[in-house]
Structure 1
Amino acid sequence: MSTLPLIFIDGDQGTTGLQIHERLRARQDLRVLTLPAAERKDAQRRAEAINSADIALLCLPDAAAREAVAMISNPRVRVIDASSAHRTSPDWVYGFPEMAAGQAEAIATALRVSNPGCYPTGAIALLRPLVQAGLVPADYPLNIHAVSGYSGGGRAQVEQYEGAEAAHAAPFVTYGLGLQHKHPPEMQLHAGLSQRPLFVPSYGAFRQGIVLTIALQSRLLPAQASLERLRATLQAHYDGAHYVTVLDAAQSESTTQLDPTRHNHSNQMSLGVFGHAGHGHILLCAVFDNLGKGASGAAVQNLDLMLTR
């Protein structure tokens, strides 16, 4: 009998599940279990599979993820949930290793890990260190804007842009106009905000990648919150991080545009602080792959941490 850890991917045919499966397919240090099409909706077979696993990766809609967790009777089964079902639950460890000191260790030893949302990954990466340092007030009236590739909408949106009707797909779409998107509570909690941020998401006619921006007014910030201080605080927080880098002053000065596809097919994320002192304007920016650091890459990063325990 193999002693290699068994990883069950529940929902391996979705966008995130397919990417995770692809990243794990050639690994020699673990075994991957998926269910054939005829068994994917068989509750008994799913329960057997999830309870046989060392770690279960849930790539499911929220309701189905909760259902899958309820199926677990084996106390040794550990879970990484890629849905948004448990991202604000106090009983789950938030799966953003670089978020805070000790977070990677908490993930490594956890039974239940909730993978971050794609947009919250960028927003929290930028805001949490600055809020904790007292440079951005917790009640700052934040407006967060983000543009993602169409794969962020899942299989249906991928088919819309890559299928027979692709010629009729919109080149750019802003959505969530009712301001009830599911991500702001996650952003608020894990960034340490006291108020819900206003979030405006969009997607364009490119497959994957994200540019997320947060505009700040210097007059609404503490006196010590200069552009240089904000950048230095982020650089100190992510110093030594393997997957997160912060543009230095020279890099920022030479950067005139941000390409959302820059980190596609990787788990890398770049953070930048731009601004104009005369206008009192500061722009925080994050660039990463919504299918990488924003989804499957983050899940595999968390999986690798959990496999160390």
Structure 2
Amino acid sequence: MTHRIFIDGAAGTTGLEIRDRLAGREEFELIVLDDERRKDVSARREALHEADVAILCLPDDAAREAVKLAEGSSTRIIDASSAHRVADGWAYGFPELIGHEKIANAQFVSNPGCYPTGFLALVAPLVRAGLLPADWPYTVNAVSGFSGGGNALIERFTSEPDIAFRAYGLNLAHKHLPEMKEHAELKHPVLFAPAVAPAYRGMLVEVPLHLGAIGAELHADQLSKGLSEFYAASEIITVGEASGASELLLQDGTSGHDAMRLDVFGNEGGWNARLIARLDNLGKGASGAAIQNLNIMCGLPETTGLRL
């Protein structure tokens, strides 16, 4: 069976990567609008209604508009924007956390943000298992390649080669905060410190924890074991075992990939820990996640076409 796919917003970084990666797959027929029609409302409405699945790679307001344009159709939608990540009626597109069946049966799926993907992969399973408290004031330190900022940020980094590090979100009101809190089932918003480095792709997301302050009996090894057990069946997310790495690097020129690696580093005694997720902000953090969800929604093996 061939599934008709329309990528609304195929000119952006996420949309272009999804389009390139689906183009050679026989399971899919791409509905493509030329440059003159891709912003035409009537043409977009027609494509949205013709598609079996539409993937929205748009700014938030435009994604909401696209959903309205698709009303009255049976089209299933994957939204890569942040518009619907905590919205009623939308499945959160992190199958490892919410369950593959929810994705398979959903009409509306909202792709997670890249930073929340790392944070939630680390924290949500441990909160569910009772190893970490839901009412702790969590901090997230993260650095991403500049492609996560879209065409404008890509242009800035390529035209201003002297930028060595860009810290942002200094008003503490980043758009990723609601989904981190809701899908980790936390009582407080996280304190999020995002940054961008002069590498095109790649991402490190860190959650530092003073385990001695959280609970006298809590040890870093327990957290690593909890994550290993939770992701034991996953072909995409792996957990390191007592990693002896002395440093983690975000390097320019890294090839795209869709896997995610989780590590728990503890000090001697195990009462301090650094939980770190390594992923590709355009892979499991965006395009790869959309393709994984698309596979599940179309009844295909979830890793088909993924770079693992």
Post-superposition offset of 1:299: 0.2
Match of 1:202 in 2: 195
For 1:186 and 1:288, how far apart are their aligned partners in 2?
Answer: 18
User: Contact 1:161/1:205 (CA < 8 Å) preserved in 2?
Assistant: yes
CA distance in 2, matches of 1:308, 1:68: 25
Q: Percent identity?
A: 46
Q: Which residue number in structure 2 is paired with residue 143 of structure 1?
A: 139
TM-superposition CA deviations, 1:154-208 (whole Å, max 9, x none): 011112223xx2434x111100101010111110000111100000000000101
Partner of 2:236: 243
CA 1:290 to 1:264, structure 2 compared with 1: closer, same or farther past 3 Å? farther
Tell me which residue corresponds to 1:68. 66
How much does 1:281 deviate? 1.4
Per-residue deviation at 1:143?
0.9
**Residue number among 42, 45, 54 corresponding to 1:44 in the alignment:** 42
Matched to 1:227, the amino acid is A
The answer to whether the aligner puts 1:126 opposite 2:117 as a matched pair is: no
Matched-pair contact (CA < 8 Å) for 1:261–1:289: no
Residue correspondence of structure 1 range 46-125 to structure 2 within 5 A: 46-100=44-98, 103-125=99-121
Partner SS, residue 234 of structure 2: coil
* 1:152 pairs with one of 145, 148, 151: 148
**Helix, strand or coil: the match of 2:95?**
coil
Match of 1:257 in 2: 247
Deviation, 1:146, is 0.3
Could you tell me how far apart the structure 2 residues matched to 1:141 and 1:161 are? 33
User: Which blocks of at least 5 consecutive residues in structure 2 are unaligned?
Assistant: 301-308
1:20-74 Cα distance to aligned partner (Å, 9 max, x none): 0111111111101121111122111100000000000000000000000001134
Give the TM-score normalised by structure 1: 0.93
**SS of residue in 1 equivalent to 2:36:** helix
Q: Residue 8 of structure 1: SS of its match in structure 2?
A: strand
Runs of 4+ in 1 over 6 A off after TM superposition: none
Q: C-alpha separation between the residues in 1 aligned to 2:90 and 2:213?
A: 34
- Quote the Cα distance in structure 1 between the aligned partners of 2:221 and 2:161: 45
Shift of 1:260: 3.1
Matched letter for residue 66 of structure 2: A
How many residues are paired up? 299
Q: Is the CA contact 1:143–1:215 (under 8 Å) kept in the aligned structure 2? A: yes
